Amino acid sequence: MEVSTMKVTKMDYAAAGAFSKTVTDYLCQNEKLQPFYNRYPTLEVFEAQLKEKTFSEAQRQTLHQALQQQYTSITSINPKVQQNLDLLQQPNTYTVTTGHQLNIFTGPLYFVYKIITAINTCKQLQEKYPDYNFVPVYWMATEDHDFAEINHFNLFGKGYKWETTQKGAVGRFSTEGLDKLMEELPETYPVFDEAYRNSKTLADATRAITYDLFGEYGLLSIDGDDAMLKKSLTPVVEKELTEQLSNKLVEEANAELEKLGYKPQVYSREINLFYLKDNLRERIVQEDGKYKVLNTDISFTLEEILQEAQEHPERFSPNVILRPLYEELVLPNLAYIGGGAEVAYWFQLKKLFEAYKVTFPMLMLRNSALYITRGNASRMHKLGLKPEEMFQSYLDLKKYLSSQIHEEEINLEEQRKAVTAAFAEVEKLAQDIDPTLVRAVAAEEQKANNALQMLEKKISKARDSKHEQTFKQLENLKEKLFPNGSLQERHDNLLSYRTNNPDFIPALVEAFDPLEFRFTILEEE
């Protein structure tokens, strides 16, 4: 298969028109947002972050042991992955982390974009700070229970869905039933086929997939649903149950953000914890002096629930408010890479980190991209459009193309005058020879004018039809590049591009500059 060469164009996020004011203000380093984060990410500023982040030898050993155990689900480990696993034991090793749900078949493209941003950040840090080691980490959202968000994906414009009656944390789901879904696909995809057929759980399968796709770059995938790792969260769980500290601090931050005109991205609960056991993940609430697990008969006294937290830390699952703190407690992490909504909700959490004396990581917006295949690039150039112009609305582009076409109105007025003049001479001749023929000449003149009028309409319609074809091509191109009117990365799946271009991931690795904070357009040439 012929390998595509790439033309890469960069544009400002604000010009893309698909990112919130919170994000664009952050990228402009608007001073209003500065109290809500620690340091704005630049290559030079990482030095201060390295000095601030503390991570003990005991924490490193726990992390290494837990990950080593998790990676027993991989039969033969790539030396780069094993090297990064072992490097975590070294006091000069740090991580750059991204996180995402366990979308089947990796879900939308931004799953891949997040991981590549983490990989490339580590690569740049390694060059800048050779005395340290930097490891890219993908935090698997194994404890998430919103199955409807992960059970589907779009491939070549068609939707596919996994049906199962399983409940609870999705990482614990059996992969049963995914084989039926794979039979519906247009062809076999070995990476996914092997992972889903040979893994016991969705967490194991997702680790196998990310390992196959990114193992050569040394990516480590971590599962926080781990009794060994959860021990570090126990003090937070205890304070959460007795003081509801996180809710107070997040509510304060929310009020401050709202005052500045920023809408909070996530909402806090009085207790930001779930109870996690077997196929159950339900919220913990305080009612009538007891701690109850919603939608169950399970309840605890304060003494009982604190004992449960001590004996079974793995049964307490942080929600979106506490999960970032948990990540930073178990990783020697410098930066968190997220999408626009994620970066925005971290602004709500800085007070929480300060209260627990945990270093707040640098927040990095993941790379975003528009990938234009050779066929679509050809259509775009035939329309006389540039890639960055494709971000305009269809109506604006149609108006622009109409102005480019700019042809005068079709009319056959000159031809009508010539016909009239010709028939005037014929009428004069008829008048001289036989006046009774004058009426016949007038009738023929009318016929000729009618014929010209009909031809004028036909020619005009044909031209409009030709333009309609152009507008239809524009409409189809817009839908290919912006499915359902949204960014391609929020809809299309990795396989829609990697199937025809096996070097799709290396092309992204080559093109993405994680600290440039500009939108990337890749165009196959």
Pairwise CA distance, residues 100 & 339, whole Å: 10
Let me know: does 111 contact 125? Beta carbons within 8 Å.
no
List the chain pLDDT tens, one digit each, 525 residues. 344 578 999 999 988 888 899 999 999 999 999 999 999 999 999 999 999 999 999 999 999 999 999 999 998 899 999 999 999 999 999 999 999 999 999 999 999 999 999 999 999 999 999 999 999 999 999 999 999 999 999 999 899 999 999 999 999 999 999 999 999 999 999 999 999 999 999 999 999 999 999 999 999 999 999 999 999 999 999 999 999 999 999 999 999 999 999 999 898 999 999 999 999 999 999 998 899 999 999 999 999 999 999 999 999 999 999 999 999 999 999 999 999 999 999 999 999 999 999 999 999 999 999 999 999 999 999 999 999 999 999 988 988 887 777 555 567 888 889 988 998 988 888 888 888 888 888 899 899 899 888 887 887 677 667 778 888 999 999 999 999 999 999 999 999 999 999 999 999 999 999 999 999 999 998
Total residue length of the chain: 525
Domain ranges of the chain: 6-235+315-370+487-519, 236-249+261-314, 387-484
Angstrom CA distances, 467 to 114, 406, 474, stand at 41, 11, 11
Dihedral pair phi/psi, residue 166, rounded to 5°: -65, 150
Max distance between CA atoms of the chain, in angstroms, equals 124
Sheet holding 519-524, edge to edge: 6-11, 519-524, 369-372
Q: Which two tokens stand for residue 115?
A: 């991981």
Q: Which two tokens stand for residue 321?
A: 């408010």
Answer whether 0.85 is exceeded by the pTM: yes
pLDDT in the model for residue 16? 87
Nearest CA-CA partner of 125 in 296, 397, 349, 334 = 334
Pairwise CA distance, residues 50 & 28, whole Å: 24
Three-state SS for 471?
Answer: helix
Dihedral pair phi/psi, residue 362, rounded to 5°: -70, 140
Let me know: does 149 contact 107? Beta carbons within 8 Å.
no
Three-state SS for 293?
Answer: strand
pLDDT in the model for residue 2? 44
Three-state SS for 381?
Answer: helix
Instruction: For the chain, give percent helix, strand, coil, nearest 5.
Output: 55, 15, 30
Let me know: does 316 contact 76? Beta carbons within 8 Å.
no
Let me know: does 387 contact 523? Beta carbons within 8 Å.
yes
Three-state SS for 418?
Answer: helix
Three-state SS for 135?
Answer: strand
Task: Count CA within 13 A, CB hemisphere, residue 254.
Answer: 14
